[in-house]
């Protein structure tokens, strides 16, 4: 993924009226487009929103969505919550870690693998999110197909 530049950061701040109370929305909008929040963006946001750097840091650190490292081109999230566990999400996670040769929270070969705690698709569990799209009734074969489809779009 690309890295946000100074000008775009200022544009996003302006879209939210330059209000400090919109910090979570501003960060979310950056993450949705760029995947992560670089250190110099934190500094810039603090300046433009008239907050201390510690304030912005605190908010970035607090929320799971706000990555401070650049993710892979593809983000794969596997639900770890109870309804998915009831349908084998632990086994599915093991399978994913095995075939991708990586652990949850890692980034390897353009893929970031993350846990997620509920996608609200609990009647069609286990659920997986690939690049922002939710998939249900995901068994090992379907998971492999999703990966193939994802790579096919490269």
Partner 1 sequence: MARTKIFVPRETAAVSVGADDVALAIARTAKQTGTDIELIRNGSWGASWLEPLLEVEVDGARIAYGNVTADDVAGLFNAGLISGGEHERRLGPVSEIPWLINQDRWTFWRCGLVDPLSVDDFERHQGFKALSKAFADGRDAVLDAVNDSGLRGRGGAGFPTGIKWRTVANTSAGQKYIACNADEGDSGTFSDRLLMEGDPMGLIESMAIAGFAVGASIGYIYLRSEYPLTHSILSRAIASARDAGWLGSNIKDSGFDFDIELHLGAGSYVCGEETAMLESLEGKKGIVRYKPPLPAHEGLFGKPTVVNNVVTLASVANIINLGGERYAGMGVNRSKGTLAFQLAGNIKRGGLVEKAFGVTLRELIEDWGGGTASGRPVKAVQVGGPLGAYIPAEQLDTPMDYEAFVNIGAMIGHGGIVIFDDTADMAQLARFAMEFCAIESCGKCTPCRIGSTRGVEVIDKMISGREREKNYDLLLELCDTMEGASLCAMGGMTPYPVRSVLKYFAEDFASSKEANA
Tokens read off for 47? 């300046």
- Residue of 1, 10, 20, 104 that binds partner 1 (CB under 8 A): 20
Half-sphere exposure for 13 (CA within 13 Å, toward CB) = 20
Is 90 or 109 the residue whose CB approaches partner 1 more closely? 90
Quick check: 92 binds partner 1 (CB under 8 A)? no
Cα separation, 32 vs 22, in Å, equals: 15
Part of the chain binding partner 1 (CB under 8 A), chosen from 6-14, 56-64, 97-105, 143-151: 56-64
Quick check: 101 binds partner 1 (CB under 8 A)? no
Helices (H) and strands (E) in the chain, counts: 7, 5
- Residue of 4, 42, 75, 81 that binds partner 1 (CB under 8 A): 81
Q: What is the DSSP string of 125-137?
A: -S-EEETTEEE-S
Nearest-approach distance from CB 29 to partner 1, in angstroms: 8
Cα separation, 87 vs 3, in Å, equals: 38
Tokens read off for 146? 């999703």
Nearest-approach distance from CB 149 to partner 1, in angstroms: 11
- Residue of 2, 7, 17, 21 that binds partner 1 (CB under 8 A): 21
Close Cβ partners of 85 (under 8 Å, ≥ 6 residues apart): none
- Residue of 4, 12, 13, 27 that binds partner 1 (CB under 8 A): 27
Q: Which residues bind partner 1 (CB under 8 A)?
A: 19-25, 27-28, 31, 58-59, 62-66, 81-87, 116-125, 127, 129, 132-137
């Amino acid at each position: 993924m690309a890295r946000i530049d100074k000008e775009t950061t200022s544009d996003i701040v302006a879209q939210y009226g330059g209000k400090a109370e919109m910090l979570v929305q501003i960060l979310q909008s950056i993450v949705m487009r760029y995947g992560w929040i670089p250190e110099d963006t934190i500094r810039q946001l603090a300046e433009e929103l008239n907050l201390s750097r510690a304030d912005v840091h605190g908010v970035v650190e607090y929320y799971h969505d706000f990555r401070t490292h650049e993710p892979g081109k593809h983000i794969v999230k596997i639900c770890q919550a109870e309804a998915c566990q009831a349908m084998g999400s632990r086994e599915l996670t093991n399978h994913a870690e095995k075939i991708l040769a990586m652990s949850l929270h890692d980034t390897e070969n353009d893929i970031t693998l993350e846990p997620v705690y509920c996608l609200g698709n609990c009647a069609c569990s286990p659920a997986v999110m690939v690049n922002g799209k939710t998939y249900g009734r995901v068994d090992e074969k379907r998971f492999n197909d999703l990966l193939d489809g994802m790579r096919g779009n490269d």
